[in-house]
Structure 1
Amino acid sequence: MSKLLSLLAVGLALSLGTAAHAAEDKAAPTKQQSKMAACNADEKAKTLKGDERKAFMSECLKNKPATQQDKMKACNADEKAKTLKGDERKAFMSECLKK
């Protein structure tokens, strides 16, 4: 009986650790993920195909950190920004530009 309880306790501890780790993975996007989103939002990336797109994305991701103008383009391209109006849009844009 005590072995069963010990195994149950170990199993519970392991499952809680896994759940906590999964929650960390869903946190804010990394810098690389943000750069990838900005590069994908760029109008050029939408029209390129195959090797041209790969070359563009590679160059885009190598470039220095996104400028304020690049961030603005990416935030404006977000579907959520297109549906919001007034103060809600201002709040969204402010938060998006801080990333």
Structure 2
Amino acid sequence: MSTVTISEDEFLRLKEKAGEVIKRDPTQCLAIGHTWKFIGGANAGCGETCSCSVPVHECIVCGDCDYGDNDEGNDTRQECALLDHNDEAHP
């Protein structure tokens, strides 16, 4: 028997096509926390000339998005605040 790997989005699409209802239950997230999935990046917004990036995640249960408001994003913004944004070496 062979193994096939599919994305989570494809898995959910196939479940819906098979007639299974995918219910997003935000109360689960309130009780045990979000189940985050990385979906891309956003500008850190550290300053006018900032080009730093922070990771953005979406909860696969309720669909909420953290918009980069996460531990790694906070670390990036703190590090960026210490940099000289007029320095050519700064991204």
Normalising to structure 2: TM-score of the pair? 0.27
* Higher RCO (Cα < 8 Å, 6 or more apart): 1
**Rg (Cα) greater in structure:** 1
More helix by share: 1
Normalising to structure 1: TM-score of the pair? 0.25
